[in-house]
Amino acid sequence: FAAVDVIRAKRDGGALSDEQIRWVVDAYTRGEVAEEQMAALAMAVFLRGMDARETATWTGAMIDSGSRLSLRVDRPTVDKHSTGGVGDKITLPLAPLVASCGAAVPQLSGRGLGHTGGTLDKLESIPGWRAALSVGEITAQLNSVGAVICAATSGLAPADRKLYALRDVTGTVESVPLIASSIMSKKIAEGSAGLVLDVKTGSGAFMKSREQALELARTLVEIGSAHGVATTALLTDMNTPLGSAVGNAVEVAEAVEVLQGGGPADVVELTVALAREMLALADISVDPARVLASGEAYETWCRMITAQGGDPAAPLPQPGHVTVFAAPSSGYLSALDAYAVGVAAWRLGAGRARKEDPVQHAAGVRCLAKPGDRVVAGEPLLELHTDTPDAVPAALEALSDAVQITDTPPEPGNLILHRTD
Ligand code: URA
């Protein structure tokens, strides 16, 4: 094959053959197809799309660019992936909850970039906790505790790492077949038998429109089935932050509240709903709501954190500086925009501008009211946490249109919008 022929075929709207796809992904990973050629092909795919067969083959080629994790675990393995949101700390209570119900949860996670947070950044606010585990350590912990949240090992889907960096700088990230194959290559290579996807839609999500998010959900489930991984997807609302806490240590604290039987209702609802989906895939008939209430999931959390060097009883980092954002008028909070709150938390130091930047563990936003609540002019609505008070004006600017207050209460919306299987 010649790369230019593959590019021309897709540019002109044709379907690529399985052989062309396997060749081009492999040759690109080995450096034999140039970056500018892959950039042109990614743009052709962005504009022309790929059908279900092409997308499944593309995903398989990215999996085959590296090694698959082979987990020797004596319970059914099942994992969850979220397409990314604001205040989305669900992995933290979910992994120990599902493990307490009898499954093994190998949750290989990422760091935040942009306005969405990363699970590893959140957990690293726990003193001593370690994200990098060897395959042997992952397997041992899955057998002893049942849940692992750790960094992806470097051998998983190296083609995706290279291609994602290229897409990031060539305007080709927001393509359903490219996003879906990127997510699924990493998750399938991880070797879990079942996978539940939490596909976000709304201002704080990658996919702003519901139609696009549904198409992504369908494509993810199709790829899973094509590769023999039992996959279901929930489409969930991301127009307002999940829970009250957005940041790193503040989100860990909120996850612990949920594990101890409290916490915000939306975080509890989504945690239990995703746990039910995961347990159904693992063929385990245990009620996760009962296990959450019993405190068993909290015990598993403590063992999971301890196994990775963390001290679950240690105090979490506190911010050096807190600014209160007051309600501008009285009435009902009818909107609190997820994207704006995510950007504010990012600017306060919870996220990073460049991949290599550190994050501030204590930075973030606490939302003191949720849409539908009554608020009073001048009373605190948000708390901005940071160690770098110079960042506060930029965070306040991000929040300038974030809040809507009305005289009548908003229509209550659903958090879980659709299920795809
Ligand atoms: N997350 C991924 O892992 N890949 C994408 O392409 C987009 C979001």
**Which domains, from first to last, does the chain contain?**
3-49 (1.20.970.10), 78-153+172-307 (3.40.1030.10), 321-406 (3.90.1170.30)
CB 60 within 8 A of CB 150: no
Beta-carbon neighbour count of residue 267 at 10 Å?
26
Q: Which amino acid is at 198?
A: D
**Dmax (CA) of the chain:** 67
Ligand 1 atom closest to Cα of 167?
6
pLDDT of the chain along its 421 residues, tens only?
999 999 999 999 999 999 999 999 999 999 999 999 999 999 999 999 999 999 999 999 999 999 999 889 999 999 999 998 999 999 999 999 999 999 999 999 988 767 777 899 999 999 999 999 999 999 999 999 999 999 988 789 999 999 988 998 899 988 999 999 999 999 999 999 999 999 999 999 988 899 999 999 999 999 999 999 999 999 999 999 999 999 999 999 999 999 999 999 999 999 999 999 999 999 999 999 999 999 999 999 999 999 999 999 999 999 999 999 999 999 999 999 999 999 999 999 999 877 778 899 999 999 999 999 999 999 999 999 999 999 999 999 999 999 999 999 999 999 999 999 9
The pTM assigned to this predicted structure is 0.95
CB 173 within 8 A of CB 84: no
Pocket test of ligand 1: the residue of 62, 120, 164, 223 to mutate, having most ligand atoms within 8 Å of its CB, is 164
197's enclosing H/E stretch is strand 194-201
Q: String of b and e for 377-415 (b: at least 16 CB within 10 Å)?
A: eeeebbbbbbbeeebbeebbebbeebbebeeeeeeeeeb
CB 181 within 8 A of CB 45: no
Cα(119)–Cα(152) distance, integer angstroms: 12
State in Å: Cα 46 to ligand 1 middle: 14
State in Å: Cα 407 to ligand 1 middle: 40
Q: What ipTM was estimated for this complex?
A: 0.95
371 DSSP 8-state letter: T
Please enumerate in sequence order all residues whose Cβ is within 8 A of that of 409, keeping only pairs 6 or more positions apart, or say none.
332, 334, 372
Q: Which of 88, 160, 198, 237 is catalytic?
A: 160
**Nearest protein Cα to ligand 1, atom 1:** 183
Q: Which amino acid is at 216?
A: L
